[in-house]
Amino acid sequence: MEIRKNEEFDILIEDMSEDGEGIGKVEGYTLFVKDAVVGDQVRARVTKTKKSYGYARVAQVLAPSPYRVTPRCPVAGPCGGCQLQNVSYERQLLFKEEKVRSQLKRIGGFADPPVRPVLGMEEPYEYRNKAQFPIGRSRDGRIIAGFYAGRTHSIIETPHCYLGSPVNEEVLRAVIGWMERYRIEPYEEEGHRGLVRHVLIRIGGEPRQLLVCLVINGKKLPHAKELVQELLAVPGMTSISYNSNTERTNVILGPEVTHLYGKGYITDTIGDLRYRISPQSFYQVNPGQTEKLYATALSYAGLTGRETVWDLYCGTGTITLFLARQAKEVRGVEIVPAAIEDAKANAAANGIGNAHFYVGRAEEVLPRVYREEGKKADVIVVDPPRKGCDEALLRTILQMRPKRVVYVSCNPATLARDLRILCEEAYELAQVQPVDMFAQTVGVETVCLLSKFRAN
């Protein structure tokens, strides 16, 4: 049977893809159906075809799944930020547990990975302490803020995101009002014209502290004093800056930050530790779940106060400082200089003197220090970006042979790939704990313990 674009079929959604699409079949031909929920009976309209599979959209829900719910956000469908708002939260957690287990089996080669149930949230909305809103124009010419539609750079107007704080709306109104008043143009990607590309908002502290950074396609921000006055009307405004990014790129932030108001950072607490956060710092976006994540990582590290620990991809030292209080010494590595500056300030502010930091690529710093200084490790903690660890880094870990490796990952696929390398030669996968850091989306954070070293 030949499947053609725009044809419609009635199908049962039997599974969900890793990107949150429903999966159904038409006489053995697989369709990935956007906005469908496992258990739905739908009429699906085909949007794209390949030889053995295709893509479709829901034209009509014929019989809803017991897991289908009404999204809280009116633009949850077209917006690319949330993929699972139409799925009950309990089923979201099961989906993420299955996603981690599936990748560990398929890519990692683990027959029966020890995956625990996902640590979920009490309230899976309004949890994000960071938002990056692209700025553009609507079809009728208005300046708008929002998020990109899935797999596009078309902005869906979403001044209020249900995953973020309501204060984001106040900030965006102030910025857009200032742009309209002084005829400041939003960035137009295709022609590489216009000035304001994104508005970055961070929230921290108790009482609330706000950091706002405009990302601009230029070196100077006109009417900056007037922007500061507009933003100071928002309660809790603590730091205002702009970041220069003049490249044709999908990367949001450029290298230069110019401070307009405040010290250039805000502070936040995780447990009883305080952290300094600047515009370019890596910092987990879900404070409540971060405590669960770090408590798990600390438990897996099994520290007694006598260990030397390496924390790779350490960001602003968030995990590093948790580890340092229970270790002999901790060495953190991070490629972003501004993050290391924050990490050192965070260690000093918390009275921690046994944490040392290196600026550089983890896959270069760790081999060099191990080779030249003979620095060993009892425990290594890695929390890499989505692309996972460089193989040179994994080989150095295997040479150093720490007693335990704690791997924190935001990407189950690269996690499984890296664990396969480590476990083929030296380690056993002892525990796997997913944590729901990104409710309503397909994202999942995972903490793994590698232990029980086997001598060759």
User: In this structure, is the dihedral angle defined by the CA atoms of residues 73, 77, 80 and 83, taken in order, positive or negative?
Assistant: positive
At 164, list the tokens. 């973020």
| DSSP per residue, 125-166 | SS--SEEEEEEEE-TTS-EEEEEEBTTS-PEEE-SS-TTS-T
Q: Which of 389, 410, 423, 448 is catalytic?
A: 410
Q: How far apart are CA 45 and CA 56, in angstroms?
A: 5
Active site residue 389: no
Q: How many CB atoms lie within 10 A of CB 138?
A: 11
Q: Is 27 exposed, middle or buried (0-12, 13-18, 19+ CB in 10 A)?
A: exposed
Answer yes or no: are the C-beta atoms of 361 and 384 closer than 8 Å.
Answer: no
Of 41, 57, 40, 51, nearest to 3 by C-alpha is 51
CA distances in angstroms from 368 to 17, 360, 396, listed in the order given: 41, 11, 10
**What kind and span of H or E run contains 106?**
helix 89-106
AA identity, residue 451: S
Beta strands in 299-444 (DSSP E): 308-312, 329-334, 355-359, 379-382, 404-409, 428-435
AA identity, residue 85: Q
Q: Which residues are catalytic?
A: 410
